[in-house]
Amino acid sequence: MSDPFAIDIMACINDPSSNMQSSYLSHFTIQDGLLYRNHLLYVLVGACRTRVLQHCHDDPLVGHFGFAKTLELISQGFWWPQPWKLVKEAHHHPYSLLHPLPIFSRP
């Protein structure tokens, strides 16, 4: 695992003498080697988050959901810090050069 946040939280949960506030740690649990926050599965940095985003954003039956609906679907079963940033990046169209519209001489 190469996710520093998950590594730190899991280490603190497993070490009762950790310096992290117990009120913060009380939101996290480890079940079958997976990290959960308030019963939502913590998604590791990288390809895992991208897969969750694709699953919640691209529904073959209804098309692409918008920003709010995608974020809502993610937050129903998954958690990671600031998920809205990844959702926003996925909904942002890349910048490109503007092209002028043609001007017609007749209507």
pLDDT in tens, 42-96: 999 989 999 998 888 876 765 677 888 889 999 999 999 999 998 888 766 666 6
Predicted TM-score of the model (pTM): 0.73
pLDDT band at 97 (very low <50, low <70, confident <90, very high): confident
Question: Could you report how far apart the first and last alpha carbons of the chain are, in Å?
Answer: 63
